[in-house]
Structure 1
Amino acid sequence: MIEQIKERHLIRFQEPNFYAKLISRNCYSGKIVDQEVVTRNLPEGKATIEVLAIYEIENEKISKVWFLMGEPKF
């Protein structure tokens, strides 16, 4: 799983204008919940997307991750 996450992020960070702004971070029972606004270049054009990222932590490492994404705003 770690390699899949790493590969996806390496590709994503090569996008021009890619930017993620952390809005808030909260911790709940071994999970970290980040609210972000992400700017990306999609095939339809430049957009912002609200993202909720949930990271499950075990032994001080990410063991699982979920991304809940809103609709792109162009």
Structure 2
Amino acid sequence: MADTAYLSPEAVVQQQLDAYNAHDLEGWLATYAPDACQYQHPATLLARGHAEIRQRAIARFAEPDLHARLLRRQVIGQVVIDHEMVRRNFAEGPGQIELLCLYTVEAGKISSASFIAGPEQLDQPGTD
């Protein structure tokens, strides 16, 4: 993994997305600052710091179908906004969810991430 201190905010977020899709929890976590926060937009704290972020992500990274497909990315200074469609293995079955992810990158690490989630869309029987 490249030293994120020398990467642009867009490159840091891309590195995060690549590690997510590789189910590389430690590589993904390395793109976050040690004191980073994750929020449900606009301000509901989901996790603070590597330990809480890791704990929140362990089960998700174990999902066999986990994969985020980037639909669109916008970069404004240190803020990167990704619009994604994410394949998941929900408790009710496999499906997808639309996400808007707002990342703030400082000193080559994600310092905060805020998520807006659409409704879970379960696969219809007989589809993959």
Place the TM-score, normalised by the shorter chain, in its bin: 0.7 to 0.9
Residues 1:36 and 2:84 are matched in the alignment: yes
Relative to structure 1, is the Cα distance of residues 11 and 43 closer, same or farther in structure 2, using a 3 angstrom cutoff? closer
SS in 1 for 2:59: helix
User: 1: distance between equivalents of 2:78 and 2:93?
Assistant: 37
User: 2: distance between equivalents of 1:64 and 1:43?
Assistant: 27
Task: Kindly report which structure 2 residues correspond to 1:45-56, keeping only aligned pairs within 5 A, or say none.
Answer: 45-56=93-104
Which structure has the greater CA radius of gyration? 2
| Aligned equivalent of 1:59 | 107
TM (norm. structure 1) is 0.85
SS in 1 for 2:121: coil
How far apart are residue 68 of structure 1 and its match? 0.7
TM (norm. structure 2) is 0.52
| Aligned equivalent of 2:26 | none
Deviates more, 1:21-30 or 1:64-73: 21-30
How many aligned residue pairs are there?
74
Gaps of at least 5 residues in structure 2 are 1-47, 123-128
Identity, % of aligned pairs?
35
Task: From the two aligned structures, give the one with the greater helix fraction.
Answer: 2
Q: Over aligned residues, Cα RMSD in angstroms?
A: 1.4
